Amino acid sequence: MNIFRRHPKTFAHGIHPPEHKDQTNSLPIRQFPFAPALIVPLKQHIGNAAVPVVREGQEVTRGQLIAEPDGFVSVALHAPSSGIVRRIGLAPSITGEMRPAIFIEPFPASTQERLEGEPCDVETATPSEIIQAVQQAGIVGLGGAGFPSHAKMQVPEGKFIDTLIINGAECEPYLTADHRVMLEQPQDVILGVRYLLKATAASKAIIGIEANKQDAADSLRAAIPDGAPITVEVLPVKFPQGAAEMLIKVLLGREKPTGARAADIHTLVFNVTSTSEIGRLLPHGAGLQERVITISGSAVRDKGNYRIAVGTPIRFVLEQVGLADDVSCVFLGGPMMGQALSSLDIPVMKDTLGVVALTERETGPLATRKEYACIRCAACVDACPMFLNPSQLGLLAKHGQFERMQDELHLSQCFECGSCTFVCPSHIPLVHDFRIAKAALWKARASA
Ligand code: SF4
Ligand code: SF4
């Protein structure tokens, strides 16, 4: 036995949910058809909503600017298809709130050629020109965070970044869109990394990928130019490896102090598909109007990874791929960190990672799933990657003691990975209760 074998890099705690990635990880990216009506929300990211620059009845060309950023923490929006702006008004969102959106009716017979603008050349552009180009391209964190990428690229005054982390972990079950992007578009990813390195003045970048995507790691390694300060690290499979905190720990051995930002410990983390879009769009001065999404789960007939126009209604997506009769629930994102949908009338957004539909055979009868009392087994404590005490947090949540959850048990450090809920034998919806507590605290502080 080789006792000197290097211990694999990983983080403490975490879980190993069934991956289900084999349903789509070998399926190449396919182009999805346009829906008869597209709903493009003005706010698809953290920060200010974009401001429309088109009017009702106006014809637009695919890729045309339709809304401009409102301030620095805001990004541009582009027409996902050529067509007519039918309406600017309210549309349903995942939270149940109605939010402003631009409704576009695509031209069915149009060539759908994409409008391009002023190219941004990685060799000649200055850091601030790259940051501005990313804002104008409308790129946000496509890994689900939805934070405007250009705002993250702007290194705060007095700070420096030594290492960029490119997040290709994609640890969420079912999802394989990042995997296919890395495998099929390695040149875009590497060019995107070069833009990021130049804009942030970081001296190197590490692309972190889980071992279940070895072919993607090989594809990226082959695309790295000789001498480029970019490396690919293959990590053991573990959930939630794709959380920024975990990757920083695993790849750099650094801990982010409570309340600190990644830049405070000299790093920034970018999702690999966001990085790929930077490499794909900036050389053409084009805007983000579509993204790669995994459509999977036991209830989906034509599973796959699709390039889908932003604004495509989820109802249309599911009609096209076909659903089993005994569909039990539909998640936007994956089953761990995604959200169960209560309405299919919301659109695909820039931060939509996937749509996962499961049958009742897989989920069991959700409506009648019984919640039992906590048996203090500590499985949730062992699972929590942030070393919180989900059991205690859950008890306080049940009694509405939200302030104590924050003051005594550091609720804000919970990034809602769902690991505690997954392992709980009593079926206590811990992460759901934590979200409610956080929302109540946020509301109370906003009105104080
Ligand atoms: S408490 Fe939060 S961070 Fe910890 S396992 Fe539960 S959801 Fe994840
Ligand atoms: S896993 Fe569930 S039952 Fe076990 S201690 Fe945590 S909350 Fe209680």
- Model pLDDT for residues 75-118, shown as the tens digit of each residue: 999 999 999 999 999 999 888 889 999 999 999 877 778 889 99
CA distance linking residue 442 with residue 448, whole number of Å: 10
Every domain range in the chain assigned CATH 3.40.50.11540? 118-284
**Is the beta carbon of 417 within 6 A of some atom in ligand 1?**
yes
Q: How many C-beta neighbours within 10 Å does residue 370 have?
A: 6
Residue 364: predicted pLDDT: 65
- Model pLDDT for residues 305-330, shown as the tens digit of each residue: 999 999 999 999 999 999 999 898 89
Residue 7: predicted pLDDT: 44
Residue 365: predicted pLDDT: 58
- Which residue has the least CA distance to atom 1 on ligand 2? 424
In the predicted model, is pLDDT for residue 361 greater than 90? no
Residues with CB under 6 A from ligand 2: 374-380, 390-391, 394, 423-426, 428
Q: Is the dihedral of CA 383, 387, 392, 398 positive or negative?
A: negative
Task: Among 377, 388, 393, 414, name the best residue to mutate to test ligand 2's pocket (greatest count of ligand atoms within 8 A of Cβ).
Answer: 377
Interacting residues of 157 by C-beta distance below 8 A, sequence separation 6+:
none
Residue 242: predicted pLDDT: 94
Average of per-residue pLDDT values in the chain: 93
In the predicted model, is pLDDT for residue 447 greater than 90? no
Between 1.10.1060.10, 2.40.37.10, 3.60.21.10, 2.60.40.420, what CATH number should domain 371-447 receive?
1.10.1060.10
Distance of CA 381 to the CA centre of its chain: 26
Encoding tokens for residue 70? 């409102």
- Model pLDDT for residues 4-16, shown as the tens digit of each residue: 444 457 899 999 9
pTM of the shown model: 0.94
In the predicted model, is pLDDT for residue 342 greater than 80? no
- Model pLDDT for residues 24-58, shown as the tens digit of each residue: 999 999 999 999 999 999 998 889 999 999 999 99
Atom index in ligand 1 nearest the CA of residue 431 equals 7
- Model pLDDT for residues 192-201, shown as the tens digit of each residue: 999 999 999 9
Atom index in ligand 2 nearest the CA of residue 423 equals 1
Strands in 281-432 per DSSP E: 290-296, 304-309, 327-332, 339-340, 354-359
CA distances from 424 to 15, 94, 173 (A): 12, 26, 18
Q: If you classify domain 118-284 with CATH, what class do you get? A: alpha beta
Which residue, among 144, 204, 182, 193, has the nearest Cα to 353 in the 3D structure? Answer: 144
Every domain range in the chain assigned CATH 1.10.1060.10? 371-447
417: CA distance to ligand 2 center in Å? 16
- Model pLDDT for residues 109-167, shown as the tens digit of each residue: 777 788 899 999 999 999 999 999 999 999 999 987 789 999 999 999 999 999 999 99
Q: Which amino acid, one-letter code, is at 304? A: G
CA distances from 246 to 24, 203, 239, 252, 279 (A): 25, 21, 10, 10, 25
Q: Which residue shows structure tokens 């946000």? A: 140
**Is the beta carbon of 383 within 6 A of some atom in ligand 1?**
yes
- Which residue has the least CA distance to atom 3 on ligand 2? 374
Instruction: Indicate which ligand has the atom closest to the C-alpha of 379.
Output: 2
**Exposure b/e, 394-408, CB count within 10 A at least 16 = b:** bbbbeeebbebbbee
**Is the beta carbon of 388 within 6 A of some atom in ligand 1?**
yes
* Angle at which helices 390-398 and 402-409 cross, to 10°: 160
70: CA distance to ligand 2 center in Å? 45
Residue 113: predicted pLDDT: 82
